[in-house]
């Protein structure tokens, strides 16, 4: 770890016994190693989300912008923890795919917001969810009016919650309603210079797990038995190595982007950012070893 970085990220990277490395090399299954790197990246992300906004290394970000970015990073780290708990059982691979898509979308939003770096983009992000809250508010008020102005306890609670979310965003209802629509994820990928195939592989294919498509059923929930046709599959889906690698690399990029955006002088945080770069390089090294045969011509 570079000098000074331990003040921000004191956790040391994982170290592996030679016997484990040898077993992974012989089996071409690096998931035992990737699992530990995945945990490490999750911890780094949690540390990044906990950096104080008044740190002398940070410039004066509007509090709600800081809240958006660290909230998104904390979402990444929390969902990664859930994946760790699930994948350590060597089951729940169908469920970790659901979480992966959410983590990827969250990391992409961090990257997009930091790249745009303007007020309009943050307003569009904030308003994106609040527009739905206002629709619910309108429906609640219509129901209240139909009862002659009498509110149910649950309606009062929901209305207070909506008002609190709007107040904390720093916006008002007019700003929310008039804000430009947030770009879809495909547009964010293009803005970030990520090609169409990356979007298709990560988001569109990831949607199988979210929506329960036929492809998802075939891969994770059904099996074919001789003479019996399709039958329910047992609870035996493991997390794939690609899930560990791709999620880690996206989250590392999101953390680096956050620090570059928030820093008063990014050069002062180069030692910290280099921690992320070193982990990324290690992941690429493992990726090359694990996927070498997959990219050979038949």
Angle between helices 93-116 and 119-146 (to 10 degrees): 120
**Structure tokens that stand for 98 in this block:** 């659901």
Q: Is residue 129 part of a domain?
A: no
Per-residue pLDDT band for 294 (boundaries 50, 70, 90) equals: low
Q: What confidence score (pLDDT) does residue 102 get?
A: 96
Tens of pLDDT along 186-242? Answer: 999 999 999 888 888 888 888 999 999 999 999 999 999 887 899 999 999 999 999
Q: Is 31 contained in some domain?
A: yes
Number of domains, the chain:
1
Q: For residue 37, what pLDDT is reported? A: 97
Q: Is residue 33 one of the residues assigned to a domain?
A: yes
pLDDT confidence of residue 5: 57
Tell me: pLDDT of 125 over 80.
yes
Structure pTM?
0.92
Q: What is the mean pLDDT of residues 74-92?
A: 96
User: Is 255 part of a structural domain of the chain?
Assistant: yes
Per the document, the length of the chain is 298
Residue-range definition of the domain harbouring residue 79: 5-11+24-117+184-204+238-295
In a domain, 163, yes or no: no
> Tokens 């959410």 map to which residue?
102
> Residue 162: pLDDT above 90?
yes
What tens digit of pLDDT does each residue of 90-101 get?
Answer: 999 999 999 999
In a domain, 85, yes or no: yes
CB 275 within 8 A of CB 288: no
CA angle 241, 247, 253 (to 5 degrees): 135
Is residue 124 a part of any domain in this protein? no
- Domain assignment present for 250: yes
């Amino acid at each position: 770890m570079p000098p000074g970085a331990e003040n921000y990220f004191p956790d040391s990277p994982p170290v592996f016994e030679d016997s484990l490395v040898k077993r992974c090399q012989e089996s071409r299954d690096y998931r035992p190693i990737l699992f530990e790197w995945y945990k490490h990246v999750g911890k780094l992300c949690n540390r990044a989300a906990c950096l104080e906004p008044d740190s002398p290394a940070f410039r004066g970000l509007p509090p709600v912008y800081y809240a958006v970015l660290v909230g998104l990073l904390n979402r990444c780290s929390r969902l990664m923890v859930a994946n760790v708990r699930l994948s350590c059982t060597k089951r729940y691979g169908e469920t970790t795919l659901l979480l992966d898509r959410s983590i990827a979308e969250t990391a992409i939003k961090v990257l997009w917001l930091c790249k745009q770096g303007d007020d309009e983009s943050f307003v569009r992000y904030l308003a994106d969810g609040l527009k739905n809250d206002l629709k619910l508010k309108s429906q609640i008020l219509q129901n209240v009016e139909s009862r002659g102005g009498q509110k149910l306890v649950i309606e009062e609670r929901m209305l207070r919650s909506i008002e609190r979310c709007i107040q904390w965003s720093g916006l008002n209802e007019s700003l929310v309603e008039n804000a430009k629509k947030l770009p879809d994820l495909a547009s964010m990928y293009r803005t970030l210079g990520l090609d169409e195939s990356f979007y298709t592989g990560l988001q569109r294919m990831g949607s199988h797990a979210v929506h329960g498509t036929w492809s998802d059923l075939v891969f994770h929930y059904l099996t074919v038995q001789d003479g019996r046709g399709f039958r329910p599959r047992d609870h035996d889906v493991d997390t794939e190595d690609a899930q560990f690698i791709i999620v880690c690399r996206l989250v590392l990029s999101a953390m680096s982007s956050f620090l570059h955006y928030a820093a008063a002088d990014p050069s002062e945080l180069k030692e910290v950012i280099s921690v992320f770069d070193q982990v990324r390089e290690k992941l690429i090294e493992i990726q090359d070893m694990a996927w070498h045969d997959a990219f050979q011509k038949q």
